[in-house]
Copies of this chain bind each other. A is one copy, B any other.
Amino acid sequence: MATLRIAEWSSSLKYTDLPPAVVDAALRSFYNWLGCALGGSNHPTTTTAIKALSPFFGKETSSILGGSARADASHAALINGIASHVHDYDDTHLETIIHPTGPVASAVLAYAEKLASEGRSVSGEDFLIALVVGIEAECKIGLSVWPKHYDIGWHITSSTGSIGAAVATSKLLSLNPSQTAHAIGIACTQVTGLREMFGTDTKSFHVGRSAQNGLLAAILASQGFTSSTIALEAKRGWVNVVGQGVNRLDEFVGSLGKVWEIEKNAFKPFPCGIVVHPVIDGCIQLHKDIKAQGLGVKDIKAVKCKVHPLVLELTGKKTPQDGLQAKFSVYHGGAVGLVLGKAGPAQYADEVVTSQEITSVRDKIDATADEKLGADEAEIVVEFQDGKQLKKHVEHAIGSLEVPITNEQLEEKFLDQVSLVLGQEGAKKASETAWGLKGAGDVAALVKAL
């Protein structure tokens, strides 16, 4: 009875039931998601989708983030979901590599604005609890089929995201357990996201579409549209069909409210594959050390990195030619860390990637695989012309669960991304507004203030 159990748990949960650490994690998840959605709002993938679909937009109740455009809640959920994932900069539930906030927050925010347009304002607390139940649902379900589900080819963020978005929107609509179970069923039947689409616009589409799927499911269920209420656990239900033999549903649904998945949500400090992060982290630290020692990057003779074997397998591109290729280059990541002391979206701009300032250092970096190192670990040695050496051992990269990104670092990430869209002042204002979610009386008003 896993489906009904999720529905009952979600339906009865109160904001006051949430431990402070869960509220904090939810707020950070929202804040990080909003930065990504604003930061991705002018990406060609996002603007192409807007151009293609605006002829179908309904009554404009909800915001397309990053500008003044509006759409019906369903299309707003789609577009904001696309934008939030397009830079591969969103959050990660490390155990499942689900990016959990995208599908859920995109649906909830868009629908909160719709409700507000009908005079039913949604508070920050209403919003946060909807976000929490959605994220818990999708991560528990993802854990139930991990790793087989991902291995065979499903993009687990969106395949579970439809269900998370359905649970969250059901919570926002105060649906009862039975209605919520039907919503889960309608979401389960829309299995969106094949990994085959990675590297194309369709990858980000997955996140937006799953937000839409879940929203649609909750809306239909709220009007009595029926579905299976054992959609997850049935013989031919979601878990058996897309888990292909891996089924730990009872175990993980049984831990709802005991183990909070949202507390295990991590935030990428750098807009590239997570395996590069230890090198970038170490190089940024070395940038400071170089300065402190009165040395200059022009004095560097060679940089030797020892890394986990996956780093070279996934990000071994020696001479990236643009920002997208640079995301798959541990050499570029190390170089911007050493030279600029930063590795945000601006440091992945095409003109930075090909600049002499960066390539001259990049070409001095050597990386070798060492199986003894962890995936979030790296050893870096910088050798200078005069024979001096600086060393750094990163045991756990920033952004891992051991060294979580601080709120200040999260804010820096937010401002770096959002200022490219809204400018410095706009980004700062948006950041302050976003941190105010917890006490907000009306989420729609908060969005307007962005």
- A-side residues, CB < 8 A to B, are 45, 48-49, 51-53, 55-59, 72-74, 114, 152-155, 185-186, 188-197, 200-202, 205-206, 209, 216, 219-220, 222-228, 230-231, 234-238, 240-241, 244
Contacts and interface: CB of A to CB of B under 8 A. Distances in A.
A236 B151 CA distance: 9
Nearest to A233: B196
A406 to B, nearest CB: 36
Contact of A223 (B48, B56, B57, B190): B48
A200 B209 CA distance: 23
A225 B189 contact: no
Given A190-B209, A205-B186, A52 B196 contact: no
A224 B47 CA distance: 11
B219 A200 contact: no
The 4 closest A-B pairs by CB, nearest first: A153-B236, A52-B223, A202-B227, A153-B241
A241 to B, nearest CB: 4
Most central of A74, A224, A228 by chain B CB within 10 Å: A228
A270 to B, nearest CB: 25
Contacts of A191: 191-192, 194
Given A219-B52, A225-B48, A194 B237 contact: yes
B153 A240 contact: yes
12 contacts: A52-B220, A52-B225, A153-B237, A154-B241, A185-B197, A189-B192, A189-B206, A194-B228, A195-B236, A196-B236, A197-B231, A201-B220
B201 A226 contact: yes
Contacts of A195: 236
A94 to B, nearest CB: 22
Contacts of A230: 196
Contacts of A234: 196
Contacts of A49: 220, 225
A397 to B, nearest CB: 28
Please indicate which of the listed interface residues A56, A57, A155, A185 has the most CB atoms of chain B within 10 Å of its own CB: A56
Contacts of A209: 190
A55 B59 contact: yes
Contacts of A152: 236, 240-241
Nearest to A244: B244
Nearest to A55: B59
Contact of A225 (B45, B194, B244): B45
A192 B193 contact: no
